[in-house]
A and B are shown apart, each in its own frame.
Chain A
């Protein structure tokens, strides 16, 4: 059996067009994503069916907005309360700094082996590669992440990292890399991976996890997961390092239940996840388990830049549920790797330009029909289409200029075309004249109009415009009036 997706590949946002083309031509990718996204859409719809979803989204949005409005204060409060609980807090301006902090924490314990729970922030800063360079082996313990790591890939979805793989492909990867039998028996494969990981949990020197909600008033780190690997990662090794973006903070403990309700339902259509961890301190004297040290690494990595802009700020409301991806007609067709960025799909399109700059990501904000499906399902009501338009505006140099790479798509030719259109559309007589001319020359309309006509017939201007039809219609009505 040959499975072609095994070849490790490097994806970049600069190659978005080529990668999209390849994904669209790959029936396996198309089928895997369509099937998975259809399933997730249905599950989400069903699980929200007996909720007042609009009210809950409004609440979720307001909780996030309140947290962001107080962000600097809440971060200080979080730090103080974590420290009081015995959790050591570290600040990282960017991914590099975060990697260095984590490496140094590992080195201080003489750690050689790290076990990781799922953390997109760690993907964002390429933590595994950094640790490997320092001779520290980092193993992913989320099943999807584990598969992706075995296959030398990156996650294709923020919640379901291996969603691009089907059962046969997974069987092949496990067989190749870990020597399991080739099978379609999902239970066998899960059990095999579980057994492999179990040993590693026991032997790991450090556990690294992400954070879903960091509660400022109590200094509690909340971790949402289904596999128990998060609990193992945060309790078995002697050191637990939690790493998260600075925007993940919420003010009160009571803010968590509504966000959790929105998160699990929006993400996977679950009422609750199998595990919900609340980490509030290292092992206390007399306790039998838990890590000796707990660290929290708070990562900025471009977020405080986003925070400065009162429109773009909404990007930081995100609770990383992935619903925008699941409902995106573009993501569904091209899959997650095509974007070439840590966060794919709609949230990636509005977040990655701040992290990588608009030069590298210039094709992302335009890769949307602005259909609004993402904004419609976002549990915290991020106006994603508006933010995409805002980034387009920044790209062509008509924005506020505060996104890195602003103006990268400024083109004299394109601007001239829009200026020409503007002149015509602000000179009504000329506009009417142009429709008359277009109507007369309709026979000359080219049958080939670039990429449009590779898939569609070219539209032809009508013989007479609506302006002309209305004029004739008025005369007709006047005639009827006279008779």
Chain B
């Protein structure tokens, strides 16, 4: 395993909000931006951003994914870090952009972008070295780290590390915490029964851990797990970790 070296805290960063956040969970994006701004960083949100292209990529539609990814490459001309509030979109841009553009004229540009990609919690922990003061009520919270954050980006620890700073929050761990929630993008549509069995186990595990609330750093998992809890009319609700952190510390 290679050791990732982190730069000192920059003056400016780019923010890539992701399409799921743009459309379904915009507050999480704004809360992520505010968390960064509170650290004294100017956040630049390129207006022309749309989607990283991951869904097409994992579905095998690489020509279409490449076209969409290419449209994002020009949005980050300066050398600032690019912050992504999602392990799966971050993993797509960091790991798969170089593969997607390998052997094309834009390979170098894709590599440059890939090297500047940071997942939000990663950046808050390793670059901003944030210190939080919890202003919320006592609460038992479970964290679901997405598979791409955990395995593709190697970030199993950063989300829990941030939650651990919240004095009133008890972080409970569900059994098989590292197991997939069953979202997997188009997997949930192509193999709905298997996906459902997976998310059912995940919600049961979170509930059994005694969590009153759950957070995740990926809106795909959020949509899946929270959607299952709601469908079962359970009290447990979830939100993006950026919103949770901002809400409790602002």
A329-B180, A398-B62 known; A455-B231 Cβ under 8 A: yes
Closest 9 pairs between A and B when the two form their complex, measured CB to CB: A369-B184, A456-B227, A451-B192, A392-B60, A371-B180, A372-B151, A428-B48, A371-B147, A466-B26
Which of B49-57, B76-84, B125-133 is near enough to bind chain A?
B49-57
List residues 395-427 of chain A with CB under 8 A from any CB of chain B.
395-396, 398-399, 409, 415, 418-419, 421-422, 424-426
B22 touches A465 (CB 8 A): yes
29 contacts between A and B (CB under 8 A): A20-B191, A21-B193, A329-B180, A329-B198, A330-B198, A366-B186, A369-B147, A369-B198, A370-B184, A370-B187, A372-B152, A373-B147, A373-B151, A393-B61, A421-B68, A425-B53, A426-B70, A435-B23, A451-B189, A452-B227, A455-B196, A456-B227, A456-B228, A456-B231, A465-B22, A465-B23, A466-B30, A470-B17, A470-B30
Minimal beta-carbon separation of B132 from chain A (angstroms): 21
| A464: Cβ under 8 A from any B Cβ | yes
Which B residues are in CB contact (< 8 Å) with A435? 22-23
* Given A418-B61, A426-B71, 7 other A-B residues pairs in contact with their CB atoms under 8 A: A17-B191, A17-B193, A330-B194, A409-B60, A454-B196, A456-B223, A469-B29
Instruction: For B58, give its contact among A392, A432, A459, A464 (CB under 8 Å).
Output: A392
- Chain B residues engaging chain A, CB cutoff 8 angstroms: 1, 17, 19, 21-27, 29-30, 33, 45, 47-51, 53, 55-64, 67-68, 70-71, 99, 147-148, 150-152, 178-180, 182-200, 223-224, 226-228, 230-231
Give bound CA distance, A458 to B180, whole Å.
Answer: 20
Minimal beta-carbon separation of A199 from chain B (angstroms): 44
A425-B53, A456-B224, A466-B21 known; A394-B60 Cβ under 8 A: yes
List residues 439-481 of chain A with CB under 8 A from any CB of chain B.
450-462, 464-470, 473
B45 touches A396 (CB 8 A): no
Instruction: For B194, give its contact among A333, A370, A467, A469 (CB under 8 Å).
Output: A333
Give bound CA distance, A454 to B191, whole Å.
Answer: 13
| A255: Cβ under 8 A from any B Cβ | no
Give bound CA distance, A334 to B17, whole Å.
Answer: 36
B26 touches A368 (CB 8 A): no
Which B residues are in CB contact (< 8 Å) with A21? 193
Which B residues are in CB contact (< 8 Å) with A464? 26
Minimal beta-carbon separation of A142 from chain B (angstroms): 29
A459 touches B223 (CB 8 A): yes
Which A residues are in CB contact (< 8 Å) with B71? 425-426, 428
A457 touches B231 (CB 8 A): yes
B56 touches A329 (CB 8 A): no
Which A residues are in CB contact (< 8 Å) with B178? 373
List residues 17-43 of chain A with CB under 8 A from any CB of chain B.
17, 20-21, 24
Instruction: State the main secondary structure of chain B at its contact with A.
Output: helix
Minimal beta-carbon separation of B107 from chain A (angstroms): 17
Minimal beta-carbon separation of B60 from chain A (angstroms): 3
Q: Which residue of A lies closest to B71 (CB)?
A: A426
A20 touches B194 (CB 8 A): yes
Which B residues are in CB contact (< 8 Å) with A469? 26-27, 29-30
Which A residues are in CB contact (< 8 Å) with B151? 371-373, 375-376
List residues 308-336 of chain A with CB under 8 A from any CB of chain B.
329-330, 333-334
Minimal beta-carbon separation of B230 from chain A (angstroms): 4
A418-B61, A435-B22, A466-B30 known; A450-B189 Cβ under 8 A: yes
Instruction: For B60, give its contact among A333, A395, A419, A428 (CB under 8 Å).
Output: A395
Give bound CA distance, A98 to B44, whole Å.
Answer: 64
List residues 359-384 of chain A with CB under 8 A from any CB of chain B.
363, 366-373, 375-376
| A253: Cβ under 8 A from any B Cβ | no
Give bound CA distance, A427 to B64, whole Å.
Answer: 14
A366-B191, A451-B189 known; A329-B224 Cβ under 8 A: no
| A54: Cβ under 8 A from any B Cβ | yes
| A6: Cβ under 8 A from any B Cβ | no
A457 touches B227 (CB 8 A): yes
A372-B148, A373-B151, A376-B151 known; A367-B194 Cβ under 8 A: yes
Give bound CA distance, A54 to B49, whole Å.
Answer: 37
Interface centre among A409, A456, A462, A468 (most CB of B within 10 A): A456
B24 touches A462 (CB 8 A): yes
| A188: Cβ under 8 A from any B Cβ | no
Instruction: For B45, give its contact among A409, A450, A470 (CB under 8 Å).
Output: A470
Interface centre among B22, B45, B226 (most CB of A within 10 A): B22
Give bound CA distance, A472 to B49, whole Å.
Answer: 17
Q: Which residue of B lies closest to A41 (CB)?
A: B176
Q: Which residue of A lies closest to B32 (CB)?
A: A466
B25 touches A398 (CB 8 A): no
Instruction: For B182, give its contact among A329, A392, A458 (CB under 8 Å).
Output: A329
A461 touches B24 (CB 8 A): yes
Which A residues are in CB contact (< 8 Å) with B48? 428
Instruction: For A393, give its contact among B29, B45, B60, B196 (CB under 8 Å).
Output: B60
A457 touches B230 (CB 8 A): yes
A422 touches B180 (CB 8 A): no
Q: Which residue of A lies closest to B184 (CB)?
A: A369
Instruction: For A370, give its contact among B45, B147, B198, B224 (CB under 8 Å).
Output: B147
Which A residues are in CB contact (< 8 Å) with B183? 369
Which A residues are in CB contact (< 8 Å) with B192? 450-452, 454-455
Which A residues are in CB contact (< 8 Å) with B70? 426
Give bound CA distance, A366 to B191, whole Å.
Answer: 8
Q: Which residue of B lies closest to A58 (CB)?
A: B1
Minimal beta-carbon separation of B4 from chain A (angstroms): 15
| A389: Cβ under 8 A from any B Cβ | yes
B184 touches A422 (CB 8 A): no
Contact with B along A150-171 (1 / 0, CB 8 A): 0000000000000000000000
| A431: Cβ under 8 A from any B Cβ | yes
Minimal beta-carbon separation of B149 from chain A (angstroms): 11
B51 touches A425 (CB 8 A): yes
Give bound CA distance, A463 to B30, whole Å.
Answer: 14
B30 touches A24 (CB 8 A): no
B60 touches A389 (CB 8 A): yes
A20-B194, A425-B53 known; A392-B59 Cβ under 8 A: yes
Give bound CA distance, A396 to B23, whole Å.
Answer: 28
Minimal beta-carbon separation of B41 from chain A (angstroms): 13
A422 touches B194 (CB 8 A): no
B64 touches A452 (CB 8 A): no
